[in-house]
Amino acid sequence: MDNSITFIDTIIRMLYKALGQTGIHISQLSLGTMTVLKGGSPSDKLKLYDAARDSGINYFDTSDNYENGESEKFLGAFLRGKDRTKLYIGTKCFFPKPEYPSGGLSCENILETVDRSLQRMGTDYIDIFYCHRYDRNTPVQETITAIQSLIDTGKVRHWGISAFSTAQLCEMYYTAREMKCSLPTVGQYPYNLFNRTIEMELKEALQTLDLGVIGYYPLAQGVLTGKYSTPGDGESRASDPGLKKQMWDLTDYKLTKVSEYLKLCTRLGVSPSALALRWCLHNDRVSSTLSNVNNFNQLQENLKFISVDLDPQIAGEIEAIFQNAPANPYTGQKY
């Protein structure tokens, strides 16, 4: 990372949204740490995340399996010396890891995972604990009981789910209600101009259960920024052969759509990243968009979403480019 880059002189006032029933008002732009140790030294990344905090970003997301736990350690270094009450941290449990290779949402795995996460991050509590995926091998009652014990002891304040289907979400929610336990109040789902799954039947469940939504992959793994539309991968996940294999959004079809999208952005004089983020936030169920940044320039480009006005005409032009508004397969009516 180029240390000569200076952040914006004036702190941007971040806009906040309520996150479901948590009582948390979360910044509409939040930062993840899935690949935080790639594309720069830890000290440079700490400066970058400090700048993000100074710009008004107050939610930072991680998982016990990101970078084999090193991402949580990074957040621990980031939190050190800061007012913890002004920052919200989310972490997750499900995927296998060396100390618990079977993974899942068993009581044992959840309790051990949270204790290890708290130790790595050097904090007394987790603001939002997520079931990273649905566990078909563990009764939901066992999972809920484990989470409730963490809430009762103050180690976890709120809990949620990530990438659950409508049926899985409802099963977890209504089982918790029947058990008279704390209810899930937050959901993480992929959401971007290519992936609009949450606008389908899931949307009704999210509204009925009043879950706040944090949308991840809002830039479709960086494809919507336009950086893959020109030769060279640059400073990105695609420059890492291992990560590039996981880039399902990097297809010829999507790059063709992005080329049309970039022309619209150029005509409007807006940042492709900023417009894509604003489009996601136009969905009233989405409280925040979760993304990764590798440098100050990417952070600045993303922060420009604040000044983007997504009026009906621009929204219509975007729809004309992507032509993927979800529709009921039986009636043809758009959701």
pTM of the model: 0.91
Are 56 and 12 spatial neighbours (Cβ–Cβ below 8 Å)? Answer: yes
Per-residue pLDDT band at 318 (split at 50, 70, 90): very high
Average pLDDT over residues 182-205: 96
What class, spelled out in words, does domain 16-219+283-306 have in CATH?
Answer: alpha beta
The whole-number pLDDT of residue 182 equals 98
Is residue 4 predicted with pLDDT exceeding 50? no
Percent of the chain with pLDDT over 90: 80
Active-site residue numbers? 66
Are 293 and 40 spatial neighbours (Cβ–Cβ below 8 Å)? Answer: no
Per-residue pLDDT band at 172 (split at 50, 70, 90): very high
| Strand boundaries in 103-146, DSSP class E | 126-131
The whole-number pLDDT of residue 101 equals 87
* In the chain, domain spans: 16-219+283-306
Is residue 60 predicted with pLDDT exceeding 90? yes
CA distances from residue 81 to 31, 84, 85, 122, 270 in whole angstroms, order as listed: 19, 8, 12, 11, 37
Per-residue pLDDT band at 330 (split at 50, 70, 90): confident
Radius of gyration, CA atoms only, the chain: 20
Q: State pLDDT tens for residues 97-135.
A: 888 888 999 999 999 999 999 999 999 999 999 999 999
**81-120 core/surface letters (b: 16 or more CB in 10 A; e: else):** eeeeeebbbbbbbbeebeebeebbbbbebbbbbbebbbeb
Among candidate residues 306, 33, 26, the one with its CA nearest the CA of residue 186: 26
| Residue 150, C-beta contacts closer than 8 angstroms, at least 6 positions apart | 110, 111, 114, 129, 156
Name residue, tokens 């336990």: 181
Q: State pLDDT tens for residues 231-287.
A: 444 445 555 555 555 566 889 999 999 999 999 999 999 999 999 999 999 999 999
How many angstroms separate the first and last alpha carbons of the chain? 43
